[in-house]
Amino acid sequence: MNAIIKIQNLQRTFEVGSEKVHALKGISFEVNEGEFVSIMGASGSGKSTLLNILGCLDRPTIGEYLIDNVSINERSEDELSTIRNRKIGFVFQNYSLLPRTSALEQVKLPLLYNNTLSDKQCHERAKQALEQVGLKDRMNHTPNQMSGGQQQRVAIARALAGDPVMLLADEATGNLDTQTSYEIMCLFQKLHDKGKSIVFVTHEPDIATFTERTILLNDGLIVKDERVETRSARQMLESIN
Q: Which CATH number covers residue 216?
A: 3.40.50.300
DSSP helix/strand/coil, 71: strand
Averaged pLDDT for residues 204-209: 94
- Please count the structural domains in the chain: 1
- Where b means 16+ CB within 10 Å and e means fewer, 131-163 reads ebbebeebbebbbeebeebbbbbbbbbbbbbbe
Crossing angle, helix 148-161 and helix 178-193, to 10 degrees? 20
Residue 43: its pLDDT value, please? Answer: 61
Assess if residue 147 is contained within a domain.
yes
Assess if residue 18 is contained within a domain.
no
Q: Which of 209, 193, 189, 203 is nearest to 48 (CA)?
A: 203
Asked if 37 and 54 touch (Cβ cutoff 8 Å), the reply is no
Backbone angles phi, psi at 113, to 5 degrees: -85, -5
Residue 197 belongs to domain spanning: 35-45+82-239
Asked if 199 and 172 touch (Cβ cutoff 8 Å), the reply is no
Per-residue pLDDT band for 133 (boundaries 50, 70, 90) equals very high
48 C-beta neighbours (distance < 10 Å), count? 16
Report the alpha-carbon distance of residue 46 to residue 27 in Å, rounded. 10
DSSP helix/strand/coil, 23: strand
Assess if residue 61 is contained within a domain.
no
Residue 87: its pLDDT value, please? Answer: 95
| pLDDT tens-digit readout, 100-129 | 999 999 999 999 988 889 999 999 999 999
Asked whether residue 210 carries a pLDDT value surpassing 70, the answer given is yes
Averaged pLDDT for residues 66-83: 93
Percent of the chain with pLDDT over 90: 88
75 C-beta neighbours (distance < 10 Å), count? 15
Q: Is the dihedral of CA 65, 68, 71, 75 positive or negative?
A: negative
Distance of CA 8 to the CA centre of its chain: 20
DSSP helix/strand/coil, 77: helix
Asked whether residue 209 carries a pLDDT value surpassing 70, the answer given is yes
Report the alpha-carbon distance of residue 67 to residue 7 in Å, rounded. 9
Assess if residue 113 is contained within a domain.
yes
Assess if residue 116 is contained within a domain.
yes
Asked whether residue 149 carries a pLDDT value surpassing 80, the answer given is yes
Assess if residue 99 is contained within a domain.
yes
Assess if residue 72 is contained within a domain.
no
Assess if residue 96 is contained within a domain.
yes
